[in-house]
Amino acid sequence: MRRVLPVAGLVLALLWLVVPLAPVLVWAGAERWSYPDLLPGAWGVTGWRDAAAAGLPFALLRSLALGLAVAAVATPLGVMTGRVLGWRLTGRPRLVVAALLVPLVLPPFAVAMGLDVVLIRVGLPELVSVVLLLSVVAIPYTAYTSATAFARTSPELEAQARALGATPRQARLRVVLPAVRGSILVAALLAFLVGWSDYVVTLLVGGGQLVTAPVLLGAAASGSGNDAAVAAMALATLVPPVALVTVAALRVRSSGRTAADRLPESVPPEERMR
Amino acid sequence: MSTLEVRGLWHRYADADTPALRGASVAVADGEMVSVVGPSGSGKSTLLRVAAGLLRSTSGQVLVDGRDVADQPTERRDLTVMFQHPLLFEHLDVAGNIAFAPRLAGSGRREARRCAQRYLRLVHLEGLDSRDVASLSGGQQQRVALARALAAERGALLLDEPFSSLDRELRASMHDLLAEVRAALAPTILMVTHDLDEAALAESTVVLVDGSVHQHAPMAEVYQRPATVAVARLLGGFTEVAGTVRDGAHHSAWGRLPVAAEAAGDGAAVLLVRREALRIEPADGGTTGTGLEAHVVRRRPTGTRVVLSLMGSDDSRMEVELPIGEDVGPGTRVRVLPPDGRSSLWAVRGVTSGGNAQGISSGSHDSPYVARTPLKETRS
């Protein structure tokens, strides 16, 4: 019973994720699929052609650029905040945590509208505003991921590097950051996903000028009636982040296994004085 | 290598009521090793961190080869630190760790790794240069940490309880290794430790209590002539006898006992007697004169000997370590006798409520116990 429950839970969770994707997968390869047929009457790539004609490749490139820009802004800021939290360098950690949680607690629409007004008054271009706003949303993820990594890493590492002749900057770049590089990678991935998959902020603040993959998908899904093209867009939007997450998970898993393999032996023969 | 000296260091942590260091001064000669001992919270590690520049002192000087580096950042102080934990850089292999400082100093990769090989041989880990540091045992990691610190080729080496995380056997092997390294390179070393046996590896030992240096002398002298009651309590195994020194003798319930000429001058003084130097005889043995009637409260076997805890007729407490093979049961009435001979008796100025060596109350710096000499270096 102890083993059955977790396995059943895992299967249900997978089904929860995969079942909604099944019709999308089928539609993406369907030429014609009439109700009440269980499977499409004809297979083809018309949906992909229509999606490409609607600007999917460029939308994907814009999403890629947006994701990278958000990761580029949110990751270093999150790592700096995570260092402060993880190493308890602030006397008011709760204040920092509260500030980080604001974008997650408040409705994204309200945050986007509120900050949009501020950014418009400052006179920032829309694209920059979108990147900054999404970075605000992404920083809690990058900060918490980094904070966990720093909490597991001794602050003495930096002191040790300094004692060996490293300047503060060299100590951070050559010792501390490599020590938490796995978590920084995960933090950057999360920030990238925030930028890649955003719809609300991009649409509201971008004013419809910045057509990313989710914006194109949203527009097509709400008005085109071309289910095959919508499915192709959905699939194209879905595959890159899933691939990235899979690669990251495999890397984390392999590094975990390597660490386990490296557990110290009890007292090896070399330990003895010669 | 260089000389290292800290002079009059004061430090107070931001959230502390009292200073962690109160004018502490220590000097280490070129190629010499000095150990620092003290109870928990006495400021040992703070002293080392201030010397290394990892903490800023409120006032005082840190001199490396006579040059005051107190305002310099750690990396410019011409000294390096080895901590209690190896703190190896896991993204670098063994040689990469040892070559870290040479690389920072501008050596090429190949040259730095050649240098690493040299120090690996010194710590008996040749052949492990390409090993992942996480695959090493605790002892091996600490050897790599030592090699890395030596490869930095700094003027002085600061060791912060470097072997305390190792088990006894490994610690002994690291002590041997340290002796080998000292014979080969003669580094200037300041080592903080809580292990009195480890401290005895050094030429001299500084006893730090409540941020002040109570004594700086070779360990044998510290054991024979502790400068204060606090030092005696740190060492353990002393019986404290309250009384007064007058005309070269200590007067107390134990009688009149001559004290060493260098001991406390006239006035209230505490006689400090090693428990192994005390003797007992049956209470009805008819001995009169010096000594004190007492009864055994508790017996504690320690290896081949037995240590007795006794309550004196004046309600003072004391400990006596019996010779090998002798034993006395609890409740037995005995007479505790001081050691024969003038040289064994040592008194320090101060008063005590009587009783045996006990823990020192940390945080209290208004101790009634003061050294016969001022609280400064008393090196011989």
CATH code assigned at B204? 3.40.50.300
Give chain B's contact residues with A (Cβ, < 8 Å): 52-54, 73-75, 79-81, 83, 85, 87, 89-91, 100-101, 104-105, 124-125, 128, 132, 134-141, 148-149, 152, 154, 158, 170, 173, 176-177
3-class secondary-structure state, position A246: helix
CA-wise closest residue to B360 among B250, B256, B216, B211: B211
Chain B: residue whose CA lies nearest to A157: B87
Which chain B residues contact residue A267 at CB under 8 A? 137, 139, 170
Q: Where are the domains of chain A?
A: 20-256
State the pTM of this model: 0.79
CA distances from A126 to A122, A131, A135, A211 (A): 11, 9, 14, 12
Contact B52 A163 (CB under 8 A): yes
- Chain A residue with CA closest to B90: the answer is A179
Please give the pLDDT value at position A255: 62
CATH number, domain A20-256: 1.10.3720.10
How far is Cα A189 from Cα A28, in angstroms, rounded to an integer? 27
- Do B53 and B196 lie in one domain? The reply is yes
Q: Which of B81, B90, B104 is facing A166, going by the closest CB pair?
A: B104
Do residues B256 and B290 both lie within one domain?
A: yes
Report yes or no on B33 lying in a domain: yes
Contact A172/B at CB under 8 A: no
Does A169 touch chain B if contact means CB atoms closer than 8 Å?
no
Task: Please check whether residues B136 and B72 belong to one and the same domain.
Answer: yes
* Interior angle at CA A193, CA A188 and CA A198, nearest 5: 135
- A92 at B interface, C-beta within 8 A: no
What local confidence, expressed as pLDDT, does residue B357 receive?
A: 33
Mean pLDDT by 10 residues, chain A (274 residues): 83 87 85 81 87 94 96 96 92 88 81 79 86 92 95 93 95 94 92 94 85 92 84 92 87 59 40 34
Helix (H) or strand (E) holding B130: none
- Tell which residue, A183, A153, A174, has the closest CA to residue A88: A153
What span, in angstroms and rounded, lies between the C-alpha atoms of B372 and B370? 6
Q: Does B283 lie in the same domain as B193?
A: no
The residue of chain A nearest to residue B145, with distances taken between CA atoms, is A160
B204 falls within a domain: yes
Q: What does each of the 380 residues of chain B score in pLDDT, given as a tens digit?
A: 789 999 999 999 988 889 999 999 999 999 999 999 999 999 999 999 999 999 998 899 999 999 999 999 999 999 999 999 999 999 999 999 999 999 999 999 999 999 999 999 999 998 898 999 999 998 999 999 999 999 999 999 999 999 988 888 888 999 999 999 999 999 999 999 999 999 999 999 999 999 999 999 999 999 989 999 999 999 988 888 888 888 888 888 888 888 887 777 788 899 898 888 888 988 865 556 678 889 999 999 988 899 999 998 888 888 999 999 889 999 999 999 888 765 558 888 876 544 333 323 333 333 333 333 333 333 32
Do residue B155 and residue B249 come from a single domain?
A: no
Looking up residue B307, the CATH number of its domain turns out to be 2.40.50.140
A265–B contact, CB cutoff 8 A: yes
Antiparallel, parallel or unpaired: β A30-32 and A42-43: antiparallel
Judge residue A163's burial from the number of C-beta atoms within 10 Å of its C-beta, 0-12 exposed, 13-18 middle, 19 or more buried: buried
Domain of B300 in residue numbering reads as 237-349
User: Do B140 and A271 count as a contact with CB atoms less than 8 A apart?
Assistant: yes
- CA gap B199, B217 in Å, rounded: 11
Number of folded domains that form chain B: 2
Give the end of a domain, one of B179, B213, B247.
B213
Residues of chain B neighbouring A262 (CB-CB closer than 8 A): 132, 134-135
Residue type, B106: G
Q: In chain A, where do the E strands start and end?
A: 30-32, 42-43
Residues B27, B163: one domain? yes
pLDDT at residue number B359: 29
SS3 assignment for B223-269: HHCCCCHHHHHHHCCEEEEEEEEECCEEEECCEEEECCCCCCCCEEE
Comparing C-alpha atoms, which of B371, B331, A207 is closest to residue A215?
A207
For residue B318, tell me if it sits in a domain.
Answer: yes
Query: So what's the pLDDT on residue B284?
Result: 65
Cβ-Cβ contacts under 8 Å, B130 against chain A: none
**What single letter denotes the amino acid at residue B47?**
L
Same domain, B246 and B202: no
Answer yes or no: are the C-beta atoms of B59 and B47 closer than 8 Å: no
Is residue B278 located within the same domain as residue B200?
no
Model pLDDT, residue A257:
52
Same domain, B61 and B207: yes
The reply to whether B223 falls in a domain is: no
Q: Would you state the pLDDT for residue B193?
A: 95
State whether A164 and B136 contact (CB < 8 Å). Answer: no
Q: How far apart are CA A214 and CA B328, in angstroms?
A: 88
Structure-block tokens of residue A221: 């899904």
Q: Is residue B224 part of a domain?
A: no
pLDDT of residue B338: 85
**pLDDT value of residue A273:** 33
User: How long a stretch of residues is chain B?
Assistant: 380
Residue B64 pLDDT: 94
